[in-house]
Amino acid sequence: MSHHRMHTKTLSFPSLDHLVTLSTPYSLAKLLFKFEPQSPPLHVALLDVDTCASTAVFPSLSIPYKYLLHHSHRNKSLPFSSILPFDMASIYHLATLWLFCFIHLSFSELVQEQPLVLKYHNGPLLKGKITVNLIWYGKFTPIQRSIIVDFINSLNSYKATLPSTASWWKITEKYRGGGPSTLSVTKQILLENYPLGKILKNPHLPALASKFNGVNTINIILTAKDVAVEGFCMRCGTHGSTRLGRGPIRGTYIWVGNSETQCPGQCAWPFHQPIYGPQTPPLVAPNGDVGVDGMIINLATLLGNTVTNPFNNGYFQGPANAPLEAVSACTGMFGSGSYPGYPGTLLVEKSTGASYNANGISGRKFLLPAIWDPQTSKCKTLV
């Protein structure tokens, strides 16, 4: 029996969210929603309440309106009345929006950023010595494998210059019920002959993870760029748990795919141009590999989510089958001043022009996403 949750890469941050923040770049959190490809195109009318000067229409965004309504209201990320489906945006509705410009409720009050609260559901968290096993499915070069192994080993190495990968990981110690955790790569297996084929279904993931068993273990499945996984690109990875034998003890697993040839605009942003929205130049990947550097972002996300919510009863917000977790709640944020569509101010390696925010072992540099800090109830970036 397995339990898995999607790590949904927000499809909106290079599209709708970015366009919305052209009018209101401050205080707007992300709109997070499940993407439904069958949903009819949505036209969004946006009024710039700051200036009362313009209305913009963004067509052909296949986003179900119910999610806009649900998430914008639940997360208080923007005033509900500033977004309407275009087929509802009649003169009457637009006039109602314009009225907001002249009432005493200020715009800053409307979009004031609210604390992000991840509720603790009183379940166990992973801590102490954690064994990490790697299942390489498909062909990876030795350099690609070394980048990922160096990243995992950097999580507990305090020799690197600040801001470091270890200082990012240390934030997970602040979660009540958790504590210091040391990740150690123990075993690796190479499945370069694609034993289950090049198209994997969801049940294949816990089956692959079961190649290694153990308490306080994270088995990580890494799929090569030519391997298609069910739901890939609508999600960039997932984490879950499997029962060890017939008892109550469960082990955890993570899956992350290399999106280089399948959907780098969704799963390797900001190292690749986004599929939707303004086509801003991509950042230079710190390890020179767009696919693998994108995998690092998603692996970091899922490792943070796993130790703080390993069995679906730890820290999360929202429904248990589609939760916002420690790092996925901060999607698209990498540096100070970030907003949807803009990763924020980052460090730049002078010799290569690569963008990063964390130093690792062996001179490695990584770009790591923001993580929710339970002491401040805010997403924390390293720079």
Judge whether 135 and 189 are in contact, CB under 8 Å. Answer: yes
Which residues, including other chains, have CB under 8 Å from residue 174's CB and lie 6 or more apart?
373, 374, 375
CA–CA separation, 224 vs 236, rounded Å?
13
Nearest to 188 by CA among 134, 131, 254: 134
Q: Is 247 helix (H, G, I), strand (E, B) or coil?
A: coil
* Angle of helix 290-308 versus helix 142-154 axis, rounded to 10: 30
Digit-by-digit pLDDT tens for the chain (383 residues) are 555 544 433 333 333 333 333 233 323 333 333 333 333 333 333 433 333 333 333 333 333 333 333 333 333 333 333 333 434 444 444 444 444 444 433 433 444 456 789 999 999 999 999 999 999 999 999 999 999 999 999 999 998 999 999 999 999 999 999 999 999 999 999 999 999 999 999 999 999 999 998 889 999 999 999 999 999 999 999 999 998 767 677 899 999 999 999 999 999 999 999 888 777 899 999 999 999 999 999 999 999 999 999 999 999 999 998 999 999 999 999 999 998 889 999 999 999 999 999 999 999 999 999 999 999 999 999 99
**So what's the pLDDT on residue 278?**
72
Write the burial class of residue 241 (CB in 10 Å: 0-12 exposed, 13-18 middle, 19+ buried).
buried
Query: Token pair 């034998």 is at which residue?
Result: 245
Cα separation of the two ends of the chain: 41
Judge whether 14 and 274 are in contact, CB under 8 Å. Answer: yes
**So what's the pLDDT on residue 374?**
96
CA–CA separation, 298 vs 227, rounded Å?
17
